[in-house]
Amino acid sequence: MDEKPKSKDPLHGITLKTIVTDLVEELGWEDLGERINIRCFTYDPSIKSSLTFLRKTPWARTKVEKLWIWRQRLKQRGSGDSPPDSEARLVERTRRNGPAGLGGE
């Protein structure tokens, strides 16, 4: 059989709508807006308005995608609801600064 190699891209096959919906379900709009301070998450938020903004704004989309990837990796580690101390510090730092490697806007 010819099997195609799996993509190493963690976003392969994942839609932006799925990403935003997952983050809203896990974090809620308020927490999401604190982690990524953009108006579509902090003022009258909706999935539709967020998708419209994120599709037109590459830097914001990148931040959202990186947060989603980061959270998926935490899940894979089995961190559960209460992460160990090192992950708790990472969560707190991410709340203040965004996921590692994002830099400024």
CATH of residue 21: 1.10.720.30
Looking at the domain assignment, is residue 7 inside a domain?
Answer: no
Q: Would residue 10 count as lying in a domain? A: no
Q: Put residue 39 in one of left, alpha, beta given phi > 0 → left and psi -120 to 50 → alpha.
A: alpha
**pTM (two decimals):** 0.69
Question: CA dihedral in degrees (11, 16, 17, 18; nearest 10)?
Answer: 10
Domain assignment present for residue 11? The answer is no
pLDDT of residue 85: 52
Torsion of CA 6, 10, 16, 22, to 10 degrees: 120
Domain that holds residue 24: 16-97
Residue 68 lies in a domain: yes
Domain count, the chain: 1
Evaluate whether residue 1 is within a structural domain.
no
Number of residues assigned to the chain: 105
pLDDT tens for the chain, 105 residues long, are 566 677 788 888 999 999 999 999 999 999 999 999 999 999 999 999 999 999 999 999 999 999 999 999 988 887 555 444 555 565 566 666 665 555 444
